[in-house]
Structure 1
Amino acid sequence: MTYGGTPYTSIAAENMFDYLRDGNRMSQPVNCPNEILENDDNTVGECIDAGIDYCKDKVDETSHAASKEINKQKATH
């Protein structure tokens, strides 16, 4: 996942077609599970879904921690 970054920054636009045609690809995104990367039938969507799931998990963790802290503060006042 590029998180809004520019992929293939070292490849000039005019060389991109040949680069991809020759089988070159970006390296494994940080939050892309190996099972998705190693699956020959995978799609970009699967990697995007994995990233979305990761983000949802982080939001849930943060929300849970915030709720616990709010409840703790209410209990002490």
Structure 2
Amino acid sequence: MILYTYQSQEMIFPINEADYTNQTYVDIPGGQLQLEKVEEGQGGLGSYRIVRLLSSDPNLYLNPQYAPGQVFSVSK
């Protein structure tokens, strides 16, 4: 079977589900962010660390706001 996708093999066939329980996806204009929950003291309540940017727009990859490792606040 051939699977054509932009996502990594680990996202489609997860190795350990416990590794992905604290991750979430957030829609942004032009793409999505894969986020990982950070500890309470590191970024405050509702803070996530950017793991990956998923987009077909190359300009989003140049935006330092969406760089992997940046803290991203999510209001629910």
Give the TM-score range, shorter chain: under 0.3
More helix by share: 1
- TM-score normalized by structure 2? 0.24
Higher relative contact order (CA 8 A, sep 6+): 1
What's the TM-score, normalizing by structure 1?
0.24
Bigger Cα Rg: 1
More strand by share: 2
